[in-house]
Structure 1
Amino acid sequence: MGSSLKNELVPQISPPKVPANSKALGIPAVVVENLLLKFLYAYPKSDLIELTQRLAVVSHIVEDALVQLRNRNLVAVYQPTTDFSSSVYSDVRYGLTELGISEADTAYHKDAYLGPLPIALSEYIDVIQAQDIRVQPITRSDVNRALADVYGSHHLVPILGPAINSGRALLLYGHAGTGKSFVASKVLNALSTSVFIPYAVYADGNIIRVFSAQHHRRLDDNHSQKFASLESHYDKRWVLCERPNIQVGGELTMEMLEVNQNEHNRVWNAPLQMMANNGILVIDDLGRQSMPVEALLNRWIVPMEYMVDHLSLPNGQQISVPFYLTLAFSSNLPPSSIADPAFLRRIGYKIEFNPLDESDYIELWNAVAKEKQLELCDGFFDVLFELHRDRQVEFYPCLPKDLLGISRDILVFDEQERLVSPMILRSAWGLYFTID
């Protein structure tokens, strides 16, 4: 999403309030204490400011937890000392006792999460429901704006708009190169609202990390503030982000759709659909995943029907989380070969993507050439259309970018002017298309 669109985004809900005390956190005190132990294990002799920043809560919540840990002889206090040369007193610092190190080690072996205190599951559910896409329906002008740079989109606007407003699953199908994934990445631009995403959620004894720098694009700099002020700042355990736009293809596994553990540490991560709440999850190249298509589709029957997903936790318990997202399947296959009629009925909208018409195709070529700072020679389109007729290739939106990319590579290598001649076009075409 471009910077201009970012500036237009406004939070759909009022910012989550800073919890004023430990009770307002809605999580057990032991969660706060264990996280403090792990931080002091990782960052010995931290002061109150550092610990407050790391847990992202007001300082007296941290102080209360430190008192409890000191009473149990798990934390020791390092009193300030005077630096007579500068007349400055150092901060009070906290460290672990031998017993505290043992307790921290036990906490680490349960899970290695280090980050802001998790949000209670009940609070997470409330916020996700309040940020539901359907609360503020989009209009035709919104979708026109979102797809302004998508050539041939006038055929899609009347279909995509109602589809997004419905909140139901989508099936985008059509020949490879017709722009299914590209359009799917653009549709959320129609929504002018941003959402709050938690760093982590606490559920039945488990901390589940939700915010992902890979999948989420943050909009705020609230995390850089040293203190959480009850008056001027919202709860720093939440991150203000663009609506999630997660796309996954052939690399998708069933494990990624459950609470899963990072192979490099013992942190439990939310499944992709939980990370995509209040946004869109695109399952691209349906049929290329390692699991059977039927198994993948069956995974979504209950969430699509009831807007709730049941997840198994590491300790064997099961929780229910909201399924408030647009789930989009993208495939080069016709719907009848993907799933049976009963499942297809559960997918609210089946949207076919077709090649461009000639006028849109020419416009797209000219736009891509300008973007790549290339000039198309006189008679360029006569040669191009001849190649299309000879090979019986339709006007796919992917071709201008791909073929001009190859053309530019050839011109740069041969130190030629940035003019795409018939010979260069034919060379690029021959390199791009295989001979059956």
Structure 2
Amino acid sequence: MAIQIETSSLPVLAQPTSLEEAGLDLQLVLELALKFLYAHGTQTARELVEALCLPFAGLLERALSQAKREELVEITGSNGIGELGYRYALTSKGHQRAQEFLARNGYIGPAPVPIEQYRQIVAAQSLRHLSVTPRMIKEALGPLVFTESVLDQIGQALNSGQAIFLFGKPGNGKTALAQRVVAMYGGAVFIPHAILVDTQIIRVFDRHHHHPLPEQPTSDRRWMLCARPLIQVGGELTLEQLDLIYDERNRLYEAPLQLRANNGVLLIDDFGRQRVPPRALLNRWIVPLEQRIDILTLHTGKQVEVPFEGLVIFSTNLQPTDLVDEAFLRRIPNKIHLANPTVQQFAEIFRRQCAELGVPFDQRGLAYLLRTYYVGKRELRACHPRDLLRALIGAARYLGQEPRLTPDLIDRACRSYFIDP
């Protein structure tokens, strides 16, 4: 299902007309230009404008003029009419200066936005400003089936903007529900390529997690308009991933997961299965969850306050009380239990999965499945209809038959899926 992206409520990010409006100093823009020329060779002014995401007039123009005065660059020709067509190349002195810059900071790319501007825009895009309606929730869930009680709880939680603890037995839709929360909120958000903290640049934009919209507004191009981010991690999560990642070889910073999830959702899946103790991970979240700010540490030891405006969802099939104490559970006010489906819910899930997978629904086939493989043998799980129907389709293809809810195909699917059919 296509999700409508609403952009009318986004903050306005005007293109800066001066270094002061951009929150940058001349030396930084000069450094970025020289490093880009060092890495990519001769470039036109227009290509530098595109690469650094800065306007020529009043910003890049000043940096290139300064570089010419210091004999760091030279104009080697022109690829068009006007100053934007001038081709710039480093001089030997410029090569040396660029190497010095790279030795201190290896970042090459779009100009960063100052941390102060970043805080303002993240606050303006906070999930706490949004309202989620029952219709929005049901549209985002599509074919998934949950009780009205669960839908009411998730709606209340999303409108509070506070952390959520999803728990229950495996296979009942915790991950599927959490993954659709961004669609429930809808909309798009501005995400910067990088942010500037003192003299340090932290890369934020990540194409693995951030997905730019095809149409970008004509505004400050240091920001990308992206679909609201969903960042999902599981058993591989470590404490190191929750702080600034400093690449010593390239001398640059990568933003931690929660910073990249700002104005979106951070899903901690399979919570309790990580390589570090659950309490150690949760203790890391206590201050951010309560104060909506996070403290990150530069490799110099200096600490920096950054906004913490992502919705954190913990999902686990373990008992929450076995993982954390009451003091921490109090900081997660939304605790939602996803129970096993009822027979009626299971039948509805089964019917929808038949329609989605192209298997004709047959009430007699479903009755045979329930009577033979569930009554007195095992609990119902929401994932079983999908998994069993996929196995049934595989068996039918193997036998050269049309997939039908016949006892023989159901038996074959169950024998391969259940350990003790």
- From 70, 73, 76, the equivalent of 1:72 is 70
C-alpha change, 1:251 and 1:90, in structure 2 (3 Å) is: closer
Question: d(CA) in 1 for partners of 2:84 and 2:335?
Answer: 65
| CA positional deviation for 1:49 | 0.6
Does structure 1 retain, via aligned residues, the 8 Å contact 2:11–2:125?
A: no
Q: How does 1:227-242 map to 2 (within 5 A)?
A: 233-242=218-227
Q: Secondary structure at the match of 1:329?
A: strand
Q: How does 1:328-343 map to 2 (within 5 A)?
A: 328-343=313-328
Does structure 1 retain, via aligned residues, the 8 Å contact 2:355–2:361?
A: no
C-alpha offsets along residues 233-282 of structure 1, whole Å, 9 cap, x if unaligned?
11111111222111110111112111114699554211111111111111
C-alpha offsets along residues 336-392 of structure 1, whole Å, 9 cap, x if unaligned?
101011111111111000111222211211221222222355621122102443573
Does structure 2 retain, via aligned residues, the 8 Å contact 1:368–1:401?
A: yes
Q: How does 1:3-82 map to 2 (within 5 A)?
A: 3=2, 5-6=3-4, 8-60=5-57, 61-80=59-78
Question: d(CA) in 2 for partners of 1:81 and 1:408?
Answer: 60
Aligned residues: 420
| CA positional deviation for 1:435 | 4.1
For the pair 1:92 / 2:91, whether they are aligned, the reply is no
C-alpha change, 1:304 and 1:88, in structure 2 (3 Å) is: closer
Does structure 2 retain, via aligned residues, the 8 Å contact 1:39–1:114?
A: yes
For the pair 1:316 / 2:301, whether they are aligned, the reply is yes
Q: How does 1:148-187 map to 2 (within 5 A)?
A: 148-187=142-181
- From 219, 229, 235, the equivalent of 2:213 is 219
For the pair 1:405 / 2:405, whether they are aligned, the reply is no
Question: d(CA) in 2 for partners of 1:74 and 1:215?
Answer: 37
* Stretch of structure 1 that moved more, 107-116 or 55-64: 107-116
C-alpha change, 1:88 and 1:290, in structure 2 (3 Å) is: closer
For the pair 1:433 / 2:408, whether they are aligned, the reply is no
Does structure 1 retain, via aligned residues, the 8 Å contact 2:44–2:78?
A: no
C-alpha offsets along residues 315-335 of structure 1, whole Å, 9 cap, x if unaligned?
332110111121111000111
TM-score, structure 1 length as denominator? 0.90
Q: How does 1:373-412 map to 2 (within 5 A)?
A: 373-376=358-361, 379-389=364-374, 392-412=377-397
Question: d(CA) in 1 for partners of 2:136 and 2:11?
Answer: 23
Among all aligned residue pairs of Structure 1 and Structure 2, give the percentage whose two residues are the same amino acid.
35
Question: d(CA) in 1 for partners of 2:182 and 2:78?
Answer: 53
Does structure 2 retain, via aligned residues, the 8 Å contact 1:244–1:280?
A: yes
Q: How does 1:267-346 map to 2 (within 5 A)?
A: 267-346=252-331
C-alpha offsets along residues 180-212 of structure 1, whole Å, 9 cap, x if unaligned?
111111122222432111111111221111111
Does structure 1 retain, via aligned residues, the 8 Å contact 2:392–2:403?
A: no
Output the amino acid matched with 2:131.
P
Question: d(CA) in 2 for partners of 1:67 and 1:166?
Answer: 51
Does structure 2 retain, via aligned residues, the 8 Å contact 1:220–1:241?
A: no
Output the amino acid matched with 1:53.
E
Q: Match for residue 130 of structure 2?
A: 136
Q: Match for residue 205 of structure 1?
A: 199
C-alpha offsets along residues 10-64 of structure 1, whole Å, 9 cap, x if unaligned?
2432331111111211123222122111210122110011000111111121111
TM-score, structure 2 length as denominator? 0.93
Q: Secondary structure at the match of 1:370?
A: helix
Query: What RMSD, in angstroms, separates the aligned Cα atoms of the two structures?
Result: 2.4
Once superposed, which parts of structure 1, at least 4 consecutive aligned residues long, lie more than 6 Å away? 87-90
Question: d(CA) in 2 for partners of 1:78 and 1:154?
Answer: 69
* Stretch of structure 1 that moved more, 198-207 or 394-403: 394-403
